[in-house]
């Protein structure tokens, strides 16, 4: 008998013979959309979206203001997710090998992604961020996310999400588990990955919510199939205890948007000296640097890379016009980026270099503003 996914368990392909069925991929996309979960394609045999069009791959291009999703193209991954059945027929009808991804935020989903990777055990303070684990506790045998989420649940006296038979659970090809829940109405839970800096629930436990997507059950990749576990095919409401833990670990943004952090005085003075008091572009750079520095208040999902690239591009135009010294521009950008993302110099250094280089090809004109396209 067919289950709620529209296919029987016997129809699920074995991972060793992973092939995406044309009828299944389309049926899965329809099933998800029918439940109000916006869907987007995943590249054939992969768990990542297909590539953007050539225009969307150009340096400096972002999803903001991009016309591709409105035009029916799948550029920008989960941000192109749709509930439009005509578009779904178009996408998967022409590309039956595509897998199915679901944009978690608009779908109202919070998915606990439990990994079972063979990794070296991190320091104790990274196992359950915010919870001290005494040196007296023997960690022998603790090896993956199933263990850490189990320890957290045991500390709270509840059932581990990995063992929660009341909700949809999906086994991943790598041996992990996706545990699906419905978000509390009105709450914008945020995604997280890893347990290093910023928000994190537990080592080898990620959260898929706003700012992320999840692979739909029934999707098949080259590594194998995403197979439902047990009989339940619908997400249960997010448990109260887990909601409290997610709030404790920073997965719920504050009700208000923090005021942007001011640009350091030296940076403001340098920009003003370079012409910020006379030209709109100089003032614009001051604002852009403030936007970059303000990302410190939001560990993920703040658009840090885009904001830094925009600031670097503007600074490059000032340099090309002789309104700002290149070394000074590099220092201003680095200072703002370091405030927002300390310890990530390699990441933001590449963005700064690329933005400055692109901006230098478009010098600012006196009294004019920079074209920030």
Predicted confidence at residue 346, as pLDDT, reads: 76
Residue 40 lies in a domain: yes
Q: What is the pLDDT of residues 75-112, one digit of tens each?
A: 888 888 999 999 999 999 888 889 999 999 999 999 99
- Which of these ranges, 47-51, 270-274, 362-366, has the smallest mean pLDDT? 270-274
Predicted pLDDT at 14: 37
Residue 67 sits in the same domain as residue 208: yes
**Which letter, b or e, does each residue of 58-94 get, where b requires 16 or more Cβ atoms within 10 Å of its Cβ?**
eeebebeebebbeeebbbbbbbbbbbeeebbeebbee
φ and ψ of 82, to 5 deg: -140, 160
Q: What are phi and psi of 207, to 5 degrees?
A: -120, 130
pLDDT tens readout for residues 11-52:
333 333 345 555 788 999 999 999 999 999 999 999 999 888
> Given pLDDT bands bounded at 50, 70 and 90, which one contains residue 282?
low
- 137-170 pLDDT tens trace: 888 889 999 999 999 999 999 999 999 999 999 9
Q: What is the pLDDT of residue 268?
A: 47
β-bridge partners, 180: 111
Provide the β-strand partners of residue 237. 182
Core vs surface per residue 264-300: b (16+ CB within 10 A) or e? beebbebbeebbbeebebbbbbbebbbbbbbbbebbb
- Could you tell me if residue 254 is inside a domain? no
Please state, for a pLDDT cut of 70, what percent of the chain lies above it. 80
Task: Kindly state whether residue 1 falls inside one of the protein's structural domains.
Answer: no
Closest CA to 7 of 28, 22, 29, 37: 28
297 and 188 in a single domain? The answer is no
- Which residue, of 204, 220, 248, is where some domain finishes? 248
Q: What is the end-to-end Cα distance of the chain in Å, rounded? A: 54
Let me know whether 226 and 289 are in one domain: no
For residue 132, what pLDDT is reported? Answer: 87
Question: Which residue range is the domain that position 146 belongs to?
Answer: 9-248
Q: Residue 240 is inside which H or E element, if any?
A: helix 240-248
- pLDDT over 60 at 272, yes or no: no
Phi, psi of 224 (to 5 degrees): 145, -165
Q: 54 with 165, same domain?
A: yes
CB 38 within 8 A of CB 101: no
100 and 236 together in one domain:
yes
pLDDT for residue 4: 40
Pair (148, 34) in one structural domain: yes
pLDDT for the residue 300: 60
Q: What mean pLDDT is reported for the chain?
A: 81
pLDDT, one tens digit per residue, over 302-331 is 678 888 888 888 888 888 877 788 888 888
The yes-or-no verdict on residue 188 having pLDDT over 80 is yes
* 46/127 same-domain check: yes
Measure the CA dihedral 228/233/239/243, to 10°. 70
Whether 371 shows a pLDDT value over 50: the answer reads no
Q: State how far the alpha carbon of 3 is from the alpha carbons of 8, 69, 270, in Å.
A: 6, 32, 65
**Domain shared by 202 and 81, yes or no:** yes
| 244 and 120 co-located in one domain | yes
Cβ-based neighbours of 325, under 8 Å, separated by 6 or more: 274, 319
pLDDT at 30: 92
Whether residue 177 sits in one domain with residue 37 = yes
* Same-domain check for residues 164 and 117: yes
Q: How confident is the model at residue 197 (pLDDT cuts 50, 70, 90)?
A: low
**Full-model pTM:** 0.64
DSSP, res 274: I
Identify the DSSP state of 370.
Answer: -
Angle, CA 72 vertex, CA 90 and CA 97 arms, to 5°: 40
Q: Is residue 109 part of a domain?
A: yes
Per-residue pLDDT band for 194 (boundaries 50, 70, 90) equals low
pLDDT of residue 17: 39
Estimate the crossing angle of helix 304-320 against helix 280-294, to 10 degrees: 150
pLDDT tens, 328-362?
888 889 988 888 888 777 778 888 888 888 888 87
Task: Tell me, yes or no, whether 369 lies in a domain.
Answer: no
Domain boundary among 219, 248, 277: 248
pLDDT at 279: 45
Is residue 187 within 8 Å of residue 104, measured between CB atoms?
no
What per-residue confidence (pLDDT) applies to 255?
A: 58
Same domain, 41 and 183: yes
301 pLDDT band, cuts 50/70/90, is low
- Kindly give, in sequence order, each residue whose CB lies less than 8 Å from that of residue 29, ignoring residues fewer than 6 positions away: 39, 88, 91, 92, 100, 216
Give the separation between CA 204 and CA 368, rounded to whole angstroms: 50
Instruction: Report how many domains make up the chain.
Output: 2
């Amino acid at each position: 008998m067919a289950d709620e996914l529209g296919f029987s368990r016997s129809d699920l392909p074995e991972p060793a013979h992973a092939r995406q069925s044309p009828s299944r991929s389309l049926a899965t996309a329809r099933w998800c959309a029918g439940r109000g979960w916006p869907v987007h394609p995943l590249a054939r045999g992969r768990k990542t979206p297909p590539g953007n069009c050539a225009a969307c791959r150009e340096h400096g291009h972002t999803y903001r203001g991009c016309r591709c999703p409105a035009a029916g193209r799948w550029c920008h991954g989960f941000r192109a997710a749709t509930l439009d059945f005509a578009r779904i027929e178009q996408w998967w009808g022409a590309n039956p090998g595509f897998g199915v991804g679901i944009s978690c935020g608009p779908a109202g989903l919070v998915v606990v992604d439990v990994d079972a990777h063979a990794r070296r055990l991190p320091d104790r303070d990274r196992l359950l961020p915010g919870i001290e684990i005494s040196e007296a506790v023997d960690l022998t045998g603790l090896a993956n996310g199933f263990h850490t989420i189990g320890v957290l649940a045991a500390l709270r006296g509840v059932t581990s999400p990995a063992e929660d038979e009341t909700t949809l659970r999906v086994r991943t090809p790598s041996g992990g588990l996706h545990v699906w829940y419905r978000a509390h109405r009105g709450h914008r839970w945020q995604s997280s990955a890893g347990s290093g800096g910023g928000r994190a629930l537990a080592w080898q436990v990620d959260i898929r919510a706003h700012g992320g997507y999840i692979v739909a059950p029934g999707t098949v990749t080259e590594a194998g199939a995403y197979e439902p576990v047990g009989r339940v095919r619908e997400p249960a409401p997010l448990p109260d205890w887990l909601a409290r833990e997610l709030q404790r670990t920073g997965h719920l943004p504050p009700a208000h948007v923090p005021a942007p952090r001011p640009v350091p005085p030296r940076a403001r003075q340098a920009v003003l000296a370079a012409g910020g008091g006379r030209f709109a572009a100089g003032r614009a750079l001051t604002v852009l640097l403030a936007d970059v520095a303000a990302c410190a208040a939001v560990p993920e999902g703040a658009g840090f890379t885009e904001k830094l690239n925009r600031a670097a591009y503007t600074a490059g135009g000032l340099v090309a016009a002789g309104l700002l010294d290149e070394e000074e521009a590099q220092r201003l950008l680095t200072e703002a980026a370091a405030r927002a993302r300390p310890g990530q110099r390699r990441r933001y250094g590449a963005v700064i270099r690329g933005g400055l280089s692109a901006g230098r090809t478009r010098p600012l004109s006196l009294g004019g503003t920079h074209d920030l396209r």
